[in-house]
Amino acid sequence: MKTKKNFLYSQKVAPYVFILPFILSFAVFWIYPLITAFTMSFQDIGPIKKEWIGFANYAKLLKDKVFLISVGNSAKYMFFTLVLLIPFPMLFAVLMDSNIVRAKGVWKAILYMPALTSVVISGTLFRLMFTEYKTGQMNLITQALGLGTYKWLKNGWSGMLALLILACWRWTGVNMLYFLSGLKAIDTSLYEAADIDGATARQKFLYVTLPLLKPTTIYVLTISVYAGLAMFLESYMLWAGNSSPNNIGLTIVGYLYKRGIEKNNMGYACAVGVVLLIVALIINFAQLILNGTFKKEE
Short-list 38, 53, 59, CA closest to 277? 38
28 domain-assigned: no
42 domain-assigned: no
32 domain-assigned: no
161 domain-assigned: yes
Contact predicate 272/257, CB 8 Å: no
Helix (H) or strand (E) holding 109: helix 104-116
94 conformational bin, left if phi > 0, alpha if psi -120 to 50, beta if neither: alpha
Residue spans of the chain under pLDDT 50: 298
CB within 8 A of 222, min separation 6: which ones?
284, 287, 288
Burial of 12: CB neighbours in 10 Å, binned 0-12, 13-18, 19+: exposed
Q: Which CATH number do you get for residue 172?
A: 1.10.3720.10
CB within 8 A of 288, min separation 6: which ones?
218, 222, 294
The reported pLDDT for the residue numbered 264 is 83
The reported pLDDT for the residue numbered 6 is 63
Angle of helix 266-290 versus helix 32-40 axis, rounded to 10: 120
Dihedral of the alpha carbons of 63, 66, 68, 72, in degrees to the nearest 10: 170
User: What's the whole-model pTM score?
Assistant: 0.88
The SS3 call for residue 44 is: strand
141 domain-assigned: yes
Q: Which domain holds residue 239?
A: 55-297
Instruction: For 258-272, write each residue's pLDDT tens digit.
Output: 998 888 888 999 999
The reported pLDDT for the residue numbered 20 is 87
Short-list 88, 120, 86, CA closest to 241? 120
The reported pLDDT for the residue numbered 8 is 59
Contact predicate 142/150, CB 8 Å: yes
78 domain-assigned: yes
233 domain-assigned: yes
38 domain-assigned: no
**Domain count along the chain:** 1
Contact predicate 85/171, CB 8 Å: yes
